[in-house]
């Protein structure tokens, strides 16, 4: 696998008139490899847009090493500018032009063959609306036109900052289908979002940022597996007695109204056998596997991010998981 985007130790502070500087990026790392659909996940204000802007030279980083397609970024980005597309600031289009005319002008300016215009419109599902004026486009259509403009160069890498922002569910689905189609064609995609379900549906890899630092990275499966505490929901006729039995066996248990949650279970069959051995017959035994949302909350929410050594079960076998150190307060 070759690195398509590498970021190491990226730092950026913004000057403030009062209250000292605001640290937006505090030694952030990111690795995107060829062929990945890589989700860049983090809460509002965690540094996603600043990272992408720094990568593209739209804001000057204070420190860090970055490359795009092997070229030092942003210094030598020009050398690979034909090979990637990025939509980071929402582009402004001239409302009186049609979508097709807009792309034709961009194609001419970029020395791209005119035939690509229709291909790009097709790719983003705007072929039927290509002759409408841009001012008559919905927000979702404008976003897709922006993606089409980035596709004119037939890039091997596409960088999208919050492409689902402001879209309705249908628009989000169209954007998702489009990204999947691009991925199927072998385009590497880096997509930032704070919509976890979206990332979980589209992306194979994910990097989670919190307060300007990477707090988790790896395949979606591996990141989730790193947070699998072996929790099971258990329903039995006598929950209180069952809890005692389970606790006596060295497992952690929390009693809820009509069920128990048992943690640290390696093999559910053993749990069932243990309870059965005390005439406690299990009616339901459901694994509580973490989803990206619970992991995200654990890493970035009110709860303090975990240290590497108490991150729970072993990482998945299909990739690596890295858990950064506890993120410090970075703003004054
Ligand atoms: N031009 C700027 N001047 C001052 N502070 C800024 C500037 N741009 C960003 N920041 C600050 O840097 C931090 C990171 O912002 P950034 O826009 O990168 O977050 P984000 O992860 O993209 O958030 P969102 O999900 O809301 O888009 C925030 O605290 C923000 O207020
Ligand atoms: Mg942003």
Q: Along the 332 residues of the chain, how does pLDDT read in single tens digits?
A: 689 999 999 999 998 888 788 999 999 999 999 999 999 999 889 999 999 999 999 999 999 999 999 999 999 999 999 899 999 977 789 999 999 999 999 999 989 999 999 999 998 889 999 999 999 998 888 988 999 999 999 999 999 999 888 788 888 888 888 888 899 999 999 999 887 777 888 899 999 999 999 999 999 888 888 888 889 999 998 999 999 999 999 999 999 988 999 998 989 999 999 999 999 999 999 998 888 777 888 777 734 333 332 233 333 333 344 444 444 333 33
Q: How far apart are CA 194 and CA 204, in angstroms?
A: 16
Both 268 and 183 in one domain: the answer is no
pLDDT (0 to 100) of residue 331? 31
pLDDT (0 to 100) of residue 1? 67
Pocket test for ligand 1, best of 21, 24, 191, 330 (most atoms within 8 A of CB): 24
Task: Specify if 150 maps to a domain.
Answer: no
pLDDT (0 to 100) of residue 305? 37
Ligand 1, atom 29: closest residue by C-alpha: 45
Task: Specify if 143 maps to a domain.
Answer: no
Both 8 and 79 in one domain: the answer is yes
Task: Specify if 27 maps to a domain.
Answer: yes
Q: Which ligand is nearest to the CA of 50?
A: 1
Q: What is the CATH number of the domain that holds 251?
A: 3.30.70
Pocket test for ligand 1, best of 45, 196, 207, 211 (most atoms within 8 A of CB): 45
| Residue whose C-alpha is closest to residue 70's, from 129, 12, 147, 156 | 156
Q: What is the CATH number of the domain that holds 31?
A: 3.40.50.300
Give residue 188's domain range.
3-83+155-224
pLDDT (0 to 100) of residue 169? 84
Both 159 and 282 in one domain: the answer is no
Instruction: List all residues whose CB is within 6 A of at least one atom of ligand 1.
Output: 14, 22, 24, 42, 44-50, 194
Both 7 and 79 in one domain: the answer is yes
Both 166 and 219 in one domain: the answer is yes
Helix axis angle, 139-151 to 169-184, nearest 10°: 10
Task: Specify if 119 maps to a domain.
Answer: no
Q: Into how many domains does the chain fold? A: 2
Using left for φ > 0, alpha for ψ between -120 and 50, and beta otherwise, residue 331 falls in beta
pLDDT (0 to 100) of residue 326? 41
Beta strands at 188-193 and 157-161: parallel, antiparallel or unpaired: parallel
**Domain termination residue (choose one: 200, 224, 248):** 224
Task: Specify if 281 maps to a domain.
Answer: yes
Both 172 and 220 in one domain: the answer is yes
Interval between CA 47 and ligand 1 midpoint (Å) = 6
This prediction has a pTM of 0.80
Q: Which ligand is nearest to the CA of 24?
A: 1
Task: Specify if 267 maps to a domain.
Answer: yes
Both 220 and 236 in one domain: the answer is no
Task: Specify if 90 maps to a domain.
Answer: no
Both 163 and 270 in one domain: the answer is no
Pocket test for ligand 1, best of 49, 300, 332 (most atoms within 8 A of CB): 49
Q: Which residues sit opposite 206 in a β-bridge?
A: 39, 218
Interval between CA 256 and ligand 1 midpoint (Å) = 40
Both 167 and 211 in one domain: the answer is yes
Using left for φ > 0, alpha for ψ between -120 and 50, and beta otherwise, residue 222 falls in alpha
Question: Is residue 248 a contact partner of residue 254, using CB atoms and an 8 Å limit?
Answer: no
Both 60 and 167 in one domain: the answer is yes
Residues in the chain: 332
Torsion sign over Cα 268, 272, 277, 280: positive
Both 161 and 280 in one domain: the answer is no
Task: Specify if 116 maps to a domain.
Answer: no
Ligand 1, atom 31: closest residue by C-alpha: 45
**Domain termination residue (choose one: 190, 208, 224):** 224
Both 217 and 236 in one domain: the answer is no
């Amino acid at each position: 696998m070759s690195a398509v985007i590498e970021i190491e130790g990226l730092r950026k502070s913004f000057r403030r008139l009062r209250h000292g500087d605001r640290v937006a990026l505090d030694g952030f790392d990111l690795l995107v490899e060829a062929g990945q659909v890589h989700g860049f996940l983090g809460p509002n204000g965690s540094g996603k847009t600043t990272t992408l802007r720094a990568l593209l030279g739209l804001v000057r980083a204070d420190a860090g090493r970055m490359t795009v397609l092997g070229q030092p970024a942003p210094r030598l980005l020009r050398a690979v500018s034909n090979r990637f597309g990025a939509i980071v600031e929402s582009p402004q289009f001239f409302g009186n032009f049609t979508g097709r005319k807009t792309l034709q002008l961009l194609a001419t300016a970029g020395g791209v063959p005119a035939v690509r215009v229709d291909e790009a419109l097709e790719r983003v599902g705007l072929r039927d609306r290509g002759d409408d004026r841009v001012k008559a486009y919905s927000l979702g259509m404008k976003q897709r036109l922006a993606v089409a403009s980035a596709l004119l160069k037939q890039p091997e890498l596409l960088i999208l900052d919050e492409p689902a922002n402001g879209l309705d569910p249908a628009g989000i689905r169209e954007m998702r289908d489009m990204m999947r189609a691009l991925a199927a064609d072998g385009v590497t995609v880096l997509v930032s979002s704070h919509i976890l379900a979206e990332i979980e549906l589209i992306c194979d890899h994910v990097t989670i940022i919190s307060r300007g630092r990477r707090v988790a990275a790896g395949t979606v499966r591996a990141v989730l597996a790193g947070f699998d505490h072996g929790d099971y929901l258990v329903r039995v006729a006598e929950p209180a007695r069952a809890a005692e039995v389970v606790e006596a066996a060295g497992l952690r248990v929390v009693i809820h109204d009509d069920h128990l949650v048992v943690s640290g279970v390696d093999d559910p069959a053993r749990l069932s056998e243990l309870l059965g051995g005390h005439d406690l017959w299990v009616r339901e035994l459901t694994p509580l596997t973490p989803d990206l949302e619970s992991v995200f909350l654990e890493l970035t929410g009110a709860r303090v991010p975990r240290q590497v050594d108490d991150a729970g079960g072993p990482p998945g076998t299909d990739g690596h998981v890295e858990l950064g150190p506890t993120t410090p307060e970075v703003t004054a």
